Amino acid sequence: MSWRKWWQFGDNGDNTLTGSARGDWLFGRGGNDTIHGNGGNDRIWGGHGNDTLSGDDGNDRVYGGCGDDTIDGGAGNDYLKGGSGVDTIRGGAGNDRIKGGCGDDRLSGDDGNDRVYGGSGDDHIDGGAGNDHLKGGSGHDVIHGGAGNDRIKGGCGDDRLS
């Protein structure tokens, strides 16, 4: 199988990259990119720009970048990390680890027993269903546990916990 089936690189324009049923490594670089991992345990990097990143099936690792990104883990036990922009991150099904970045992020664990950590911005964190561990960062965060037996901890800012 050609290496192109495993690795895909965008350029500085607006790219659409789609992975295969195997574990792919997808790099968006510059521009406002749309990247879908599809099946397999994928690694996805958004890069600069306002990107839409989806791990889909598999246990994926998805990294935002400098823009205002939308990240969806999909099915599987995923690791999702925002960047310096204002990001929206959804864990989807599975037991996910989600980390916000520097912006005022919206972080949602959805289904599963998730670990969600805010960053330095004023974040909105929602655990969703499952027994979650939720922690704010240094900003003024709003943290909601949702269904399940959750552990909630604020951070350095003036936080609202429920």
Q: Is the pTM of this model over 0.85?
A: yes
> What confidence score (pLDDT) does residue 6 get?
82
> What confidence score (pLDDT) does residue 5 get?
56
Residue 22, by phi and psi: left (phi above 0), alpha (psi -120 to 50) or beta? Answer: beta
Query: Which residue range is the domain that position 62 belongs to?
Result: 3-161
Q: What is the pLDDT along the chain (162 residues), one digit of tens a residue?
A: 344 558 999 999 999 999 999 999 999 999 999 999 999 999 999 999 999 999 999 999 999 999 999 999 999 999 999 999 999 999 999 999 999 999 999 999 999 999 999 999 999 999 999 999 999 999 999 999 999 999 999 999 999 999
pLDDT tens readout for residues 65-86: 999 999 999 999 999 999 999 9
Total structural domains within the chain: 1
